Structure 1
Amino acid sequence: MNTTSILLIDDHALFRSGIAMVLETGLENMRVFEAGTLQEALRLEGCDPALVLLDVQLQGVSGLEGIGSLKRKWPLTRIVVVSAFDLPQAVIEAVEHGAAAFISKTEKAERMLELVRALLDDSDASTPSNLASNESNRPRLTPRQCEVLDLLCQGLSNKMIGRKLDLSEHTVRGHVQAMLATLRVSSRSEATYAARRLGLVR
C-alpha cells in the first residue's frame, strides 16, 4: 500500500515531534517529514507531501509569506496553516494567502487527526467539514444568521454583535450556535474559514 507523506514545518522541535507522533500513530501508512524553517523545507529532497502543516510564526520568512514558495515547489500539495492564533482575522489572512485549511494548535489530538484525515480523504473538500462550495451544497442560513456571520468574521464578540444588531447577547449566542451547526463546524474560527471558502461573506 502506498505511503502518504505530510510535511510539518514548525520551529518548535518539541511540538513537531509531538504532532509527528500523533499523525504517524493515528493515520495508517503515514510518513511525516519535519522542517524547522521554510528554507529547510524547500531544500528537502525525496519529499512529495500530500499536505503541508505550516506554522505561521517562523523565524526568517513567515509561514504566510512562504505559502507561495511552497506551492511553486509542490503545486498539487495542500497547505494547511497551523497556529495558536486562531482569531477570525488570522483565519481570513491564511485563506487569502492560499491556505486550504486552518487548524488551531489548541485543538485536541483527536480533532486534529479528524481534520487531517478529512483533507487527505477528499482532495476536493473546501473545508475540513467536507462542505462543497457549489450552490447545491451551500448551507442555508437565515438572513439574521448571515448578518451575525458577517460580523463574526470581522472579529466582533457576541456582545459587540448584539450592539450592532440591537439584539441581546443571549440571542446572538443562539444565532451563533445555530449557524455553527448549519455550517457543520465547531468553532468561530472554523466558521470564518468555511464562510470565506463558500463565498458567504466578502
Structure 2
Amino acid sequence: MSSTIVLVDDHTLFRRGLASIIRDFPNVAHVEEASNGEALQKLMAQPPDLILMDVEMPGTNGLALTEQIKATHPEVKIIIISMHDEDEYIINAIRSGADGYLLKDAEPNELQEALVSVLNGRIYATEYVTRALRNELLHPIDSQTDGVELTEEETQLLRLICAEKSNKEIAQELSRSVRTVEKHRLQLLRKTGARNGVGLALFALRQGLVAL
C-alpha cells in the first residue's frame, strides 16, 4: 500500500534532500513539504499517512504541533527528526505523541526502516530511544499509570505491540481483523494514557509486563 508523507523542516536544503531520498523508497505515493506549522495546517485538509517533524523551527514548536495533530488526527503517524540525542528531548517527543524519533544524521536505510515500521504500527526504537526509555523507567519525572488494570486480552495485545509486531501480524496471531486490532489499540492508548506505541511500551515496562 502506497503512503503519503509530509516533511516539516525550516531548512530548505535539508528538507528537499530528505524528500528526494524518500521519493526513491518503495510504496511512497506522494511526498509533500512544509517549512512551518502554518504550511502544515494547510496540508492537513487531507491528512497524510505520516509526518516527519522537526522540533525547532522559527515561530513553531514541533512537539506542540505533534500534540495538536495527535489530538485531532490520532491515526496520523509522526516521527520526530532532530539533531539532539539527549534523553530529555527523546522523552519529551514521546510524551507529545510522536511514534518515532530519528537523528538527522541517520543513514537512508535507517530512515526507510523507521518509516516502514511506524507505518505498519510497529514500535521503532533505536539504541538512543531504548536508552532514554530505560533511564526514564529508572528515574521517572511523573507517572499517572497507578491503578490502571488491564484485562487478559489487553495485556496480550500490549505484549504483542511491545514485541514490535505489526497490526497485521497481531491480527493473524489473535485471529482478529486488522480493523479490530486498530480499534483495540486505540482503546488501550486511552486506558493507559499513552499517546503512541512507545508510550505503551513505557507503560508495560513500568508495570513489569515486559523487560528491556
Give TM-score, length-normalised by structure 2.
0.59
Which residue of structure 1 lines up, in the alignment, with residue 20 of structure 2?
A: 21
The match for 1:110 is 109
Whole-Å separation in 2 of the counterparts to 1:88 and 1:35 = 27
Are residues 45 and 38 of structure 1, via their aligned partners in 2, closer, same or farther at CA, if it must alter by over 3 Å?
closer
CA contact (8 A) 1:16 1:34 kept: yes
1:18, CA displacement in angstroms?
A: 1.0
Task: Show the counterpart of 1:101.
Answer: 100
What CA RMSD, in Å, does the superposition of the two structures yield over aligned residues?
3.2
Contact in 1 for aligned 2:137/2:206 (Cα 8 Å) = no
Aligned pair 1:36/2:56, yes or no?
no
Larger radius of gyration: 1
Distance in structure 2 (CA, Å) of the matches to 1:89 and 1:201: 18
Which of 141, 149, 160 pairs up with 2:134? 149
Q: Provide Cα deviations, 1:167-198, integer angstroms capped at 9, x if missing partner.
A: xxxxxxxxxxxxxxxx99xxxxxxxx968733
Structure 2 counterpart of 1:52: 51
Aligned to 1:67: 66
Is the Cα–Cα contact under 8 Å of residues 5 and 47 in structure 1 kept in the other structure?
A: no
Query: Helix, strand or coil for the counterpart of 1:43?
Result: helix
- Percent identity for Structure 1 against Structure 2: 26
Q: Is the 8 A contact 2:99 2:198 kept in 1?
A: no
Structure 2 gap segments, 5+ residues each: 126-130, 140-162, 165-196, 208-212
Equivalent residue, structure 1, for 2:202 = 198
1:111 alignment partner, SS class: helix
| Residue identity matched to 1:81 | I
4+ residue segments displaced more than 4 Å: 151-154, 193-196
Judge conservation of contact 1:89–1:153 (CA < 8 Å) in 2: no
> What is the alpha-carbon distance in structure 1 between the residues aligned to residue 136 and residue 96 of structure 2?
21
The answer on whether the counterparts of 1:23 and 1:30 sit within 8 Å (CA) in structure 2 is: no
Q: Work out whether 1:128 is the aligned partner of 2:128.
A: no
Deviations 1:102-139, CA, capped at 9 Å, x for gaps: 1111211111111111112x22x2x215xxxxxxxxxx
The answer for the alignment partner of 1:88 in structure 2 is 87
